[in-house]
Structure 1
Amino acid sequence: MPDLILHHYGLSPFAEKARLMLGHKRLAWRGVTIPATMPKPDVIALTGGYRRTPILQIGADIYCDTALICDVLEHVQPDPPLYPEHFKGMARVLAQWADTTLFWASMGYNLSPKGAAALFAGQPPEVGQAFAADRATMRAGMTSPRPGDATAAFRSYLRRLSTMVEEQPFLLGEAPCIADFAAYHPLWFSRVANRAMAGILDATPPVLEWMDRMAAIGHGQMSKVSSTEAIATAAAAEPAALADEVFQDEHGIALGSRVTVAAETFGPEPTEGILRAATRTRYTLEREDARAGRLHVHFPRIGYVLREVRA
C-alpha cells in the first residue's frame, strides 16, 4: 500500500470530500495542513503553480483535483468501489454537476454577506478581507451568482437531492459512490463549517438523514506530517513509472514538449513542465524543484487547459 499524503485544511469542502473517500476506502493516510490562502510556498514547490485544495502526494507523484484523486484511490484500493458497476457514467456526470453547479450555488449562499459575517465572526477584520481578496483572484474571469440567485438555486438542488434519498440510503442505491461524496461536501460546508447557515437544510429531512450516513463513514486512519517532511519524501523518491497508455493527442502537442496546464475557471494559476503523458483521462507533467526534486504532476483532462510553451 503506497504512502498517501493529503495536503489539506480543515474547512476546505473539497478536502472533506477527499477525507471521506479515504475513510470509505478504509485507508491509512498522512495529512499536511496547508494555508487556506496564498502564499503557499510548500504547495507550489510540489505543484509548480496549482494551488487549489486538496492535493494528494504519493512519493514524487502529485495528483491535482479531487476528480483525479478519486480515480487514484480507486486504483489503490478497489474495494469498496467509488464507481457503481452499472451506473459508472451516471455517477461521474452527477459528481461533475455536484462539484461545479451545486458547489457554486452552495458557496454563493454560504459566502453571502450574512454567511461571510458568520464564518469570520470573532476574527480580526483583515482575516475575512484576506480570504475575500484571495478568492477573488482565484475567480478571475468567472461569473459568480448573486447571493439571492445562489440561495434559490441551492434550495431547489436540495429538494432534488431529497427525492433521490427518500427511498434509498444513497444517491444511486444501497452504497455510497462518487456522486455521494461530490454532493455531500458543499452541504457539509453549511452544516459543519458555517453552522449559522445550516438552517437551509431543515426543509429537506431526507437530505439530513443522508448526510448523517455520509458523516458516519469517517476519515479513515489519519496521522499528521509536516510540509517539510512531505517535501523531503518527494525529494527522496522518483516518480512512478507511467502506465503504458495510449497517447491521445487533441492539441497537436507532442510528448516531450514544454507545456502549461491550468484550470479552466477557478484557480487558473498554471503549472509548467514537460508533457510526459496525455491519456484519455489525464495529463502528466514532469518538473524539477530545488527542494522537492524531480516530480510528476498529474491533472484530469476535463476542466483543464493544455497549452504549449513557445519560445
Structure 2
Amino acid sequence: MSDPILHHYATSPFSEKLRLILGYKKFAWRSVIVPSIMPKPDVMSLTGGYRKTPFLQVGADIYCDTALICDVLEHLQPDPSIYPEPSKGLARTIAQWADGTLFWAAMAHNFSPKGAADMFANAPPEAAKAFAEDRRAMSANMVRLRPGDATGAYKSYLRRLSDMLDDGPFLLGDVPTIADFACYHPLWFTRKRTPSMSGVLQLTPAVVDWMDRMAAIGHGTSEKIDAATAIAQASASVPRTLLTDSTFQDEHGIPLGSTVTIGAESFGPETTEGELIAATRTHYTLRRTDERAGTLHVHFPRIGYILKKTETTT
C-alpha cells in the first residue's frame, strides 16, 4: 500500500492536528498543499464537493473530516495508539468537544482585529477580504461567538485543561491520546498565527508546558508531491476501504445503491453527491466518478454529517 497523502496547508489548525498524529505514529507520508480558499479544482476532483481542509487520500479512497481520518491512521499504524484503554471513550468525548466548542471559542478570540492583523500582516488587503468572504460562506449556518464572549470562554476552557494536567504530562495521563491532539491545534493557532492574542495562554503555565511537549512530537517524515500526481494515483488505483465496520445501519430509510448527498451539519455546508455504498455505525461511503481521478470512494463520519437522498426528476 502506498504512503497516505495528506491534502493540507501549513496554517490550517486541523491539519496540524493530523500532522502531529502522523509524527506520533512515525508515519512516512506524502504532502499535497491545497489552497486555503476557493476555488479548489483539484480538491473537487477528489472529494466531489467537500472543501474543508485537511483530507486524507489512500489510493482511490478519500477520507473526509479529521475525526474519521484519525480512525484510519489508527488502523494503518495501531502502535502507539491514540485511543489507549481504559480512557478511550473519555478521550473521544473530549476530542469531540475540542474540535467544536473549544475550537470555535479559540477562533473567535483569535480573529479579533489584532489577530487578523497578525494573519495578514504581509498580505495585500484583497487577501484578507477574500479570506473573510470565503469563511463567511462556509459558516452561513452557524451562530458565531463575539470576540469578548469568546475570550471569557477560552480562558475558562484553558483553566480546565490546566486542571487536567495536575497529575501527568498529558491530559489523561502519561501518554498523549486523541484528546491531546484535538485540544492542541486551536491553541497552536493562537500561539503561531495570532501572537498578538497569545497572552491568554500565559494565564495557564501548565498548558504552555504541555503545548511544548506536544510540539516536540514533530510531524514525522513527509515528501512533497503535487496535486496532479495525487490525482493520477487515484486514477490508477482501485478503492479499498480502511474502515473496519461494514454492517449496514439504516436510520433514514435510504437503501444502499441510492444516489445521495452528504454534507456537514454546520461549517462547510457544501455537499458531495454519489452512490451510497456504506452506511455503518460510524461512517458513510459514496462511490463517485471523476474524469481526472477515476472511480473513487469518499468516506465521511456519521456524526456531524447529513445524509439526503437525491430527488430525481423525470
Give the corresponding residue for 1:96.
96
Query: What CA distance in whole angstroms lies between the structure 2 residues aligned with 1:18 and 1:243?
Result: 20
Say which SS state the counterpart of residue 52 (structure 2) adopts. coil
Give the corresponding residue for 1:77.
77
Greater alpha carbon shift after TM alignment, 69-78 vs 192-201:
192-201
Shift of 1:244: 6.8
Structure 2 regions of 5+ residues with no counterpart? none
1:129 aligns with 2:129: yes
1:111 aligns with 2:111: yes
Query: What CA distance in whole angstroms lies between the structure 1 residues aligned with 2:195 and 2:124?
Result: 19
Q: 1:243 to 1:168 in 2, by over 3 A?
A: closer
Query: What CA distance in whole angstroms lies between the structure 1 residues aligned with 2:120 and 2:154?
Result: 22
Shift of 1:195: 1.9
- Superposed CA deviations along residues 45-83 of structure 1, whole A, max 9, x for unmatched, are 000000000000000000000000100000000000010
Give the corresponding residue for 1:43.
43
1:310 aligns with 2:308: no
RMSD between superposed Cα atoms in Å: 1.0
Query: What CA distance in whole angstroms lies between the structure 1 residues aligned with 2:237 and 2:126?
Result: 40
Say which SS state the counterpart of residue 197 (structure 2) adopts. helix
Equivalent pairs, count: 311
Aligned residues with identical type, % of pairs: 65
Q: 1:78 to 1:150 in 2, by over 3 A?
A: same
Which amino acid in the other structure matches residue 149 of structure 2?
A: D
Query: What CA distance in whole angstroms lies between the structure 1 residues aligned with 2:31 and 2:2?
Result: 14
TM-score (norm 1): 0.98
Say which SS state the counterpart of residue 292 (structure 2) adopts. coil
**Pairing 1:270-285 to 2, within 5 Å after superposition:** 270-285=271-286
Give the corresponding residue for 1:204.
204
Query: What CA distance in whole angstroms lies between the structure 2 residues aligned with 1:113 and 1:150?
Result: 14
Which amino acid in the other structure matches residue 202 of structure 1?
A: Q
Say which SS state the counterpart of residue 16 (structure 1) adopts. helix
- Superposed CA deviations along residues 197-237 of structure 1, whole A, max 9, x for unmatched, are 21110110000000011001100101100001000010010
Query: What CA distance in whole angstroms lies between the structure 1 residues aligned with 2:25 and 2:181?
Result: 12
Q: 1:243 to 1:14 in 2, by over 3 A?
A: closer
Shift of 1:243: 5.5
Q: 1:23 to 1:244 in 2, by over 3 A?
A: closer
8 Å contact 2:118–2:193 — kept in the other structure?
Answer: no
Query: What CA distance in whole angstroms lies between the structure 1 residues aligned with 2:116 and 2:123?
Result: 11
1:258 aligns with 2:255: no
Query: What CA distance in whole angstroms lies between the structure 1 residues aligned with 2:230 and 2:195?
Result: 32
**Pairing 1:213-232 to 2, within 5 Å after superposition:** 213-232=213-232
8 Å contact 2:13–2:186 — kept in the other structure?
Answer: yes
Query: What CA distance in whole angstroms lies between the structure 2 residues aligned with 1:34 and 1:194?
Result: 21
Query: What CA distance in whole angstroms lies between the structure 1 residues aligned with 2:102 and 2:245?
Result: 36
Structure 1 regions of 5+ residues with no counterpart? none
Which amino acid in the other structure matches residue 248 of structure 1?
A: Q
Query: What CA distance in whole angstroms lies between the structure 1 residues aligned with 2:296 and 2:199?
Result: 45
Query: What CA distance in whole angstroms lies between the structure 2 residues aligned with 1:76 and 1:116?
Result: 38
Query: What CA distance in whole angstroms lies between the structure 2 residues aligned with 1:68 and 1:169?
Result: 26
Give the corresponding residue for 2:291.
290
